[in-house]
Structure 1
Amino acid sequence: MDIKIPRGTQDIKPGDAEKWQFVEQKAHEICARYNYKEIRTPVFEHTELFQRGVGETTDIVQKEMYTFTDLGDRSLTLRPEGTASVVRSFVENKLYGQAEQPVKLYYTGPMFRYERPQSGRMRQFVQFGIEALGSEDPAVDAEVMALAMDFYEELGLSGLKLVINSLGDQESRKAHREALVNHFEPRISEFCTDCQERLHTNPLRILDCKTDAAHELMHNAPSILDYLSEASTQYFEEVKSLLDEMGVAYVVDDTLVRGLDYYNSTAFEIMLEGEGFGAISTLSGGGRYNGLVEELGGPATPGIGFAMSIERLLMALESQGIELPVNAGLDVYMVTMGEAADRKGSVLLHQLRKAGLKADKDYLGRKPKAQFKDADRKQADITLILGDQELEAGVINVKYMASGEQEEVAIEQLAERLTGGY
């Protein structure tokens, strides 16, 4: 039986895995600078969490979730996104009661959505995201967006575009919702079935429809910015002012909606413009979700966050020809000649590894010439040469590959020599 990888998934092979490790380590580092702490949640949760947290009318819940019934007849779902799980953990573990507030968290891990696989869109994909819970200060909104932009910029990406909008408070959204219904209802039959179903359940989601994006009613739909309450307007102005003072460039787009029901107030996306990655593509997005904590059984707690795809990030880096400074080579390769030397080489390798060096040798009984070729393939900085003659003399030949220089070192002093001990 020829078993192949499931559609929409990928193997991350050696050579690529080091790039993943680099960007993930970069995420850890930048979150530490901004004082965000890592949280890890289960890969699957009770289905109701996503139905309530993400929204019954979203494409994710209606079309894309991997849901199954376990042996206990419980409906479980592989997580399609990270925020609902983090908020569930925040409520369940009563993090709202700890002294350090707001609670600033980050996560990275696989998510699962059943959708048509294409470049940068997988059925299993990895998200990095942050969540700040417990503060409704506009400075937190600015901080979250600044962290995301810093992350991309420090990896070397250019052509970044931060797009922001305000979805308003409950009062603003109610007025805008009525305006949208009045705008679309007379000609809703011209729209796709999804839009028709959303007209009275969640008309804001019509603006996010890709099928009917070119319809004329999309271009003159009522703007949320015209319906913002005084409080929402003031809040949005303060967010923009802080971004201005921080030197974080942005553009306002009143059609920016985001695809999840829990968003309100500030919403944003980061896009990449330029050749090689499409005319314009979204790298990440996020926003405020005040009310989600209460929806999942917790006390009234404001929140904001974002999520980004690691796959799309790596695609963007490749499209701009950015080489990550990853070193997959060895510090040391051991070339041995003779049975006794080969045995001693294994012992010496163990000592070198304990001393912190990346070290390897041949395990296929190859001739010395083939071993030297293997050392080159593995990009070894140093090649050690040990034969029966050297073993008898108690020394080993050390060849520094960059310079071609070679020296003899006493075997018992090898680890100390290679780690700079003398």
Structure 2
Amino acid sequence: MFRYERPQKGRYRQFHQINCEALGSNAPELDAEVILLLMEILKRVQLGASRLLVNSLGCPDCQQKFKAGLGLFLINKEGLCEDCQRRRTTNPLRVLDCKSAHCKEILKDAPVLRDYLDPDCLAHFNRVLELLSRFGVTYEEAPRLVRGLDYYTRTAFEVVAVGLGAQDAVAGGGRYNGLAKELGGPDLPAIGFAIGEDRLMEVLPENLGQGDGKKVFLAALGANARDKAFSLLQTLRQAGVAGEMDFGDRSLKAQMSLADRLGADYTVIIGDRELETGKAALRRMATGDQQEVALSLLPMVLAGL
């Protein structure tokens, strides 16, 4: 993607994102699910010290009332930066997005959006927070969080990381219920997030993905064996073991050749006989040595290799 505004540290002209979009539901459960997905992704890539900030921008009616109240607060404020002086009359909501420490100090007594939420928007926000708490997600309510774009409604969130300076958000998103219609599409509610790859790479461990974990290939012979191998593959991945399998109906020789090309350290061979005995053949590719391992113990054995 490309930015129109002036590039700066952490905000490059050309940048890359990992995006998630969920359309068609206004349920707060979907908001929570999207945030849970984001936090799980960041956990798996071993993001270090970070904070999840959450706010609600309310519906357009809530925002209109809040902008009026914020505009009155800002009208006679002195010392705002040049951008904020312009924004307080054109779009006062954008003043809250200013990164200037001086402007933030001036805004410490400004009105907050939560006080302007109607009953439906407030109930929606409280339900999102309740679900995040239920699943053990640590968050901070950020009453001045508005995100950098005007189409956001209701839930808005950011994940900020230590060590990035003023531009510290590595991911962010929220609801944009009116955006599809505004662009000429159907009137669909929607929520999503974007992870900034460039910023994320600055704070991830340098050795991420460079460990000595073993690669495992599952060679399945027959439909029943493929079904079992597919379930085993998901279990292995959840345990942190890198695994692959072939979804075609290839011969064992062809699958072993594929395992070799993929650089597998071990191959698990599962056929009808292995399903009957409950034991799979585990072959070490470098030496050709092979042993039988109980199917129920395979995840534990492979994770310990």
TM-score (norm 2): 0.67
Any residues of structure 2 matched to 1:375-386 within 5 Å, and which? none
Match of 2:106 in 1: 217
CA contact (8 A) 1:114 1:123 kept: yes
Residue matched to 1:325: 210
Cα separation, 2, equivalents of 1:420 and 1:238: 56
CA distance in 1, matches of 2:49, 2:289: 46
| Residue 304 of structure 1 pairs with residue 191 of structure 2 | yes
Q: Structure 1: any 5+ residue segments left out of the alignment?
A: 1-110, 328-350, 360-380, 382-416
Q: Are the aligned partners of 2:80 and 2:102 in contact in 1 as well (CA < 8 Å)?
A: no
Flag the 1:213–1:294 CA change in 2: closer, same or farther, 3 A. farther
Alignment of 1:77-92 (within 5 A): none
Q: Aligned partners of 2:44, 2:76: CA distance in 1, in Å?
A: 49
Aligned residue runs from structure 1 range 313-392, under 5 A: 313-318=200-205, 322-325=207-210, 355-357=258-260
* Pairing 1:292–2:179 present: yes
The one-character-per-residue Cα deviations of 1:207-257 (angstroms, maximum 9, x if unpaired) are 111246445431111111111111111111111011111111111010111
Which of structures 1 and 2 has the larger relative contact order (alpha carbons within 8 angstroms, sep 6+)?
Answer: 2
**What secondary structure does 2:90 align onto?**
coil
Conservation of the 8 A alpha-carbon contact between 1:191 and 1:212:
no
User: How far does residue 127 in structure 1 lie from its aligned partner after superposition?
Assistant: 0.3
Structure 2 gaps, min length 5: 213-253, 266-284, 291-305
Structure 1 distance, partners of 2:87, 2:145, is: 17
Indicate how the Cα distance of structure 1 residues 322 and 218 shifts in structure 2: closer, same or farther if over 3 A, else same. farther
Contact 2:20 2:194 (C-alpha < 8 Å) held by counterparts: yes
- Aligned ranges for residues 391-410 of structure 1 at < 5 Å? none
Counterpart of 1:162 in structure 2 is: 52
Length-normalised TM-score, structure 1: 0.49
Instruction: Judge conservation of contact 1:270–1:284 (CA < 8 Å) in 2.
Output: yes
Residues 10 and 167, structure 2, Cα contact 8 Å, conserved in 1: no
Name which one, 1 or 2, has greater alpha-carbon Rg: 1
- The two structures, once aligned, show a CA RMSD in angstroms of 3.3
CA distance, structure 2, for counterparts of residue 135 and residue 287 of structure 1: 13
Distance 1:118 1:196 in 2: 22
CA contact (8 A) 2:26 2:190 kept: yes
Q: State the identity %.
A: 44
What is the number of residues matched between the two proteins?
A: 233
Q: 1:253 and 2:142 equivalent?
A: yes
Q: Distance between the aligned counterparts of 2:103 and 2:74, measured in 1? A: 14
**Shift of the alpha carbon at 1:268?**
0.3
Aligned amino acid, residue 106 of structure 2? L
Counterpart AA for 1:267? A
